[in-house]
Amino acid sequence: CSRLFDPTISHKTILLGDSGVGKTSFLVKYNTGEFRAGSFSATVGIALTNKIVLVDNTKVKLQIWDTAGQERFRSVTHAYYRDAHALLLLYDVTSKTSFDNIRAWLVEIKEYAQEDVVIMLLGNKADCSSSDRQVKRDEGERLAREYNVAFMETSAKTGLNVELAFLAVARQIKCRR
Ligand code: GDP
Ligand code: MG
């Protein structure tokens, strides 16, 4: 992509999705490579992580926000959306409810986020056994296609597509802005 890109700008990237889908685990895995079973405290507030992702020899700066706890008070997150460059929207493949709620998240995003915000839909906990699964891969694919957003299945536990998701986000940011 050939559009002019400013590598000095830090791009606000927010992890969204229902409580328990694995947002904090996902970011911790990306940061440290580690996975810890059991929920992270929902009371830690907003966690900020700065990362530089290399896309075709260009540095793309990401300022990643983990919405810790605010899922339960969605109105709080509206202010975040406004200046967000990218949104990683997670559901849990073992939770049909978290998948069904994606539509509500997308409605909110359309309402409050910038029109050109990069959206990545992620079906997390893909490592879980098929007997625990409540959402099939192609259901995720179909929803992503319907809303014209990128999609991957991920695992904060094994690391499946964790790096790739942020690389894809950085790549799209670089191309869109
Ligand atoms: P958050 O509320 O969205 O931040 O979710 P957490 O990161 O606190 O994770 C909720 C629970 O799901 C914890 O028990 C995690 O260990 C677990 N978890 C998160 N990601 C994965 C994953 O990819 N695979 C599995 N098997 N468990 C996960
Ligand atoms: Mg969390």
Question: What is the tens place of the pLDDT at every residue in 159-176?
Answer: 999 999 999 999 999 987
Is the distance from the beta carbon of residue 127 to the nearest atom of ligand 1 less than 6 Å? Answer: yes
CA 6 to ligand 2 centroid distance, Å: 31
pLDDT digits (tens, 9 = 90+) for 103-152: 999 998 999 999 999 999 999 999 999 999 999 999 999 999 999 999 99
CA 58 to ligand 1 centroid distance, Å: 32
Whole-model pTM: value is 0.93
Is the distance from the beta carbon of residue 29 to the nearest atom of ligand 1 less than 6 Å? Answer: no
**Complex confidence, ipTM:** 0.99
CA 37 to ligand 2 centroid distance, Å: 13
- Concatenated DSSP letters of 57-103: TEEEEEEEEEE-SGGGGHHHHHHHHHT-SEEEEEEETT-HHHHHTHH
Is the distance from the beta carbon of residue 159 to the nearest atom of ligand 1 less than 6 Å? Answer: no
What is the enclosing helix (H) or strand (E) of 13? Answer: strand 10-16
